[in-house]
Amino acid sequence: MSIVQIKDKTFSVSIPEEEILRRVQAVADKINRDMDGKNPLFLAVLNGAFVFAADLMRRVTIPCEISFVKLASYQGVTSTGKVSEVLGINEDLTDRTVVIIEDIVDTGLTMKRMIETLGTRNPASIHICALLVKPDKLQVDLNIEYAAMEIPNDFIVGYGLDYDQQGRNLRDIYTLVKE
Protein backbone atom coordinates (compact mmCIF):
# COMPACT_ATOMS: atom_id res chain seq x y z
CA MET A 1 0.00 0.00 0.00
CA SER A 2 1.59 3.24 -1.06
CA ILE A 3 -1.34 5.39 0.16
CA VAL A 4 -3.46 4.86 3.27
CA GLN A 5 -6.43 6.69 4.73
CA ILE A 6 -6.55 7.02 8.52
CA LYS A 7 -9.63 8.76 9.82
CA ASP A 8 -9.72 12.14 8.03
CA LYS A 9 -6.09 12.11 6.81
CA THR A 10 -4.27 10.62 3.82
CA PHE A 11 -0.71 9.32 4.12
CA SER A 12 1.81 8.04 1.56
CA VAL A 13 4.82 5.75 2.06
CA SER A 14 7.98 7.68 2.84
CA ILE A 15 10.23 4.99 4.37
CA PRO A 16 9.69 1.36 3.35
CA GLU A 17 10.05 -1.43 5.91
CA GLU A 18 13.23 -2.78 4.28
CA GLU A 19 14.98 0.58 4.77
CA ILE A 20 13.75 0.83 8.37
CA LEU A 21 15.10 -2.61 9.19
CA ARG A 22 18.48 -1.81 7.59
CA ARG A 23 18.76 1.26 9.81
CA VAL A 24 17.64 -0.67 12.91
CA GLN A 25 20.39 -3.22 12.24
CA ALA A 26 22.99 -0.44 11.91
CA VAL A 27 21.91 1.02 15.28
CA ALA A 28 22.00 -2.43 16.91
CA ASP A 29 25.50 -3.03 15.55
CA LYS A 30 26.72 0.25 17.07
CA ILE A 31 25.04 -0.50 20.42
CA ASN A 32 26.57 -4.01 20.44
CA ARG A 33 30.04 -2.48 19.99
CA ASP A 34 29.61 0.47 22.38
CA MET A 35 27.78 -1.36 25.17
CA ASP A 36 29.76 -4.61 25.18
CA GLY A 37 30.39 -5.64 28.80
CA LYS A 38 27.95 -3.08 30.27
CA ASN A 39 24.67 -5.08 30.55
CA PRO A 40 22.55 -2.03 29.64
CA LEU A 41 18.97 -1.52 30.72
CA PHE A 42 16.89 -0.47 27.73
CA LEU A 43 13.86 1.68 28.60
CA ALA A 44 11.40 1.70 25.73
CA VAL A 45 8.95 4.59 25.67
CA LEU A 46 5.38 3.42 25.11
CA ASN A 47 3.31 3.37 23.03
CA GLY A 48 5.17 4.46 19.93
CA ALA A 49 8.55 2.76 20.45
CA PHE A 50 7.24 -0.78 20.99
CA VAL A 51 7.77 -1.94 17.38
CA PHE A 52 11.20 -0.32 17.12
CA ALA A 53 12.18 -1.72 20.53
CA ALA A 54 11.12 -5.25 19.53
CA ASP A 55 13.07 -5.17 16.26
CA LEU A 56 16.09 -3.55 17.94
CA MET A 57 16.17 -6.04 20.84
CA ARG A 58 16.12 -9.00 18.42
CA ARG A 59 19.33 -7.57 16.91
CA VAL A 60 21.13 -6.69 20.15
CA THR A 61 23.52 -9.55 20.89
CA ILE A 62 25.04 -8.40 24.20
CA PRO A 63 23.61 -9.22 27.64
CA CYS A 64 20.93 -6.63 28.44
CA GLU A 65 17.53 -6.01 30.01
CA ILE A 66 14.44 -4.15 28.83
CA SER A 67 11.65 -2.34 30.61
CA PHE A 68 9.00 0.15 29.57
CA VAL A 69 7.93 3.66 30.53
CA LYS A 70 5.00 5.68 29.25
CA LEU A 71 5.16 9.42 28.74
CA ALA A 72 2.60 11.51 26.88
CA SER A 73 3.03 14.77 24.97
CA TYR A 74 0.93 14.35 21.82
CA GLN A 75 -2.70 15.00 21.04
CA GLY A 76 -3.83 14.35 17.48
CA VAL A 77 -1.08 15.58 15.14
CA THR A 78 0.56 18.17 17.41
CA SER A 79 2.66 18.08 20.54
CA THR A 80 0.89 19.58 23.54
CA GLY A 81 4.21 20.84 24.89
CA LYS A 82 3.37 19.32 28.27
CA VAL A 83 4.84 15.97 29.24
CA SER A 84 3.18 13.81 31.87
CA GLU A 85 4.66 10.60 33.25
CA VAL A 86 1.92 8.00 32.96
CA LEU A 87 3.71 4.77 33.87
CA GLY A 88 6.89 4.91 35.94
CA ILE A 89 10.05 2.90 36.23
CA ASN A 90 10.28 0.12 38.84
CA GLU A 91 13.92 -0.94 38.29
CA ASP A 92 16.82 0.23 40.46
CA LEU A 93 18.90 2.40 38.11
CA THR A 94 21.80 2.99 40.51
CA ASP A 95 25.09 2.59 38.61
CA ARG A 96 23.27 1.14 35.57
CA THR A 97 23.91 2.00 31.95
CA VAL A 98 20.51 3.12 30.68
CA VAL A 99 19.52 3.36 27.02
CA ILE A 100 16.23 5.15 26.31
CA ILE A 101 14.49 3.75 23.22
CA GLU A 102 12.20 6.35 21.63
CA ASP A 103 10.25 6.21 18.39
CA ILE A 104 10.73 9.85 17.44
CA VAL A 105 12.45 12.91 18.84
CA ASP A 106 11.01 16.13 17.49
CA THR A 107 11.04 19.03 19.98
CA GLY A 108 13.17 17.01 22.42
CA LEU A 109 11.03 18.12 25.38
CA THR A 110 9.85 14.58 26.16
CA MET A 111 13.40 13.27 26.06
CA LYS A 112 14.69 16.12 28.23
CA ARG A 113 12.03 15.33 30.85
CA MET A 114 12.85 11.64 30.69
CA ILE A 115 16.60 12.28 31.20
CA GLU A 116 15.87 14.61 34.14
CA THR A 117 13.62 11.98 35.74
CA LEU A 118 16.13 9.18 35.23
CA GLY A 119 19.03 11.30 36.46
CA THR A 120 17.51 11.44 39.95
CA ARG A 121 17.93 7.65 40.18
CA ASN A 122 21.76 7.71 39.97
CA PRO A 123 22.42 5.77 36.76
CA ALA A 124 26.04 5.36 35.63
CA SER A 125 25.08 6.82 32.25
CA ILE A 126 22.04 7.61 30.10
CA HIS A 127 22.03 7.18 26.33
CA ILE A 128 19.39 8.04 23.73
CA CYS A 129 18.36 5.66 20.96
CA ALA A 130 15.74 7.01 18.55
CA LEU A 131 14.27 5.54 15.41
CA LEU A 132 13.59 9.01 14.01
CA VAL A 133 14.90 12.49 14.74
CA LYS A 134 13.53 15.79 13.42
CA PRO A 135 16.63 18.02 13.71
CA ASP A 136 14.81 21.13 12.42
CA LYS A 137 12.24 20.91 15.21
CA LEU A 138 14.57 20.30 18.19
CA GLN A 139 14.13 22.92 20.91
CA VAL A 140 16.68 21.49 23.37
CA ASP A 141 20.26 20.28 22.99
CA LEU A 142 20.37 16.48 23.16
CA ASN A 143 23.14 13.97 22.53
CA ILE A 144 21.28 11.37 20.45
CA GLU A 145 24.01 8.75 20.10
CA TYR A 146 21.89 6.15 18.38
CA ALA A 147 19.62 7.69 15.74
CA ALA A 148 18.43 5.39 12.98
CA MET A 149 17.21 8.21 10.69
CA GLU A 150 16.73 11.96 10.46
CA ILE A 151 13.53 13.16 8.83
CA PRO A 152 11.95 16.50 7.91
CA ASN A 153 9.32 18.09 10.11
CA ASP A 154 6.41 16.10 8.65
CA PHE A 155 3.69 14.20 10.48
CA ILE A 156 4.17 10.46 10.09
CA VAL A 157 2.49 7.18 11.02
CA GLY A 158 3.35 3.50 10.89
CA TYR A 159 5.94 1.21 12.45
CA GLY A 160 4.54 2.01 15.91
CA LEU A 161 3.75 5.69 15.32
CA ASP A 162 0.11 6.73 15.27
CA TYR A 163 -2.50 9.27 14.34
CA ASP A 164 -5.09 9.28 17.13
CA GLN A 165 -4.05 5.71 18.07
CA GLN A 166 -4.49 4.43 14.49
CA GLY A 167 -1.81 3.28 12.04
CA ARG A 168 0.71 1.83 14.50
CA ASN A 169 0.40 -1.57 12.79
CA LEU A 170 1.59 -0.35 9.37
CA ARG A 171 4.91 -1.95 8.39
CA ASP A 172 6.21 1.09 6.49
CA ILE A 173 6.41 4.71 7.64
CA TYR A 174 3.92 7.02 5.96
CA THR A 175 3.96 10.82 5.69
CA LEU A 176 0.86 12.99 5.86
CA VAL A 177 -0.16 14.16 2.39
CA LYS A 178 -0.67 17.92 2.32
CA GLU A 179 -4.33 18.59 1.67
Catalytically active residues are 106
Q: Are 115 and 126 in contact (CB under 8 A)?
A: yes
**Main-chain phi, psi angles of 77, to 5 degrees:** -110, 5
Count Cα neighbours of 156 within 13 Å in the Cβ-side half-sphere.
Answer: 27
According to DSSP, the β-strands at 78-87 and 65-75 are antiparallel
Which H or E element spans position 43? strand 41-46
Nearest to 39 by CA among 84, 90, 93: 93
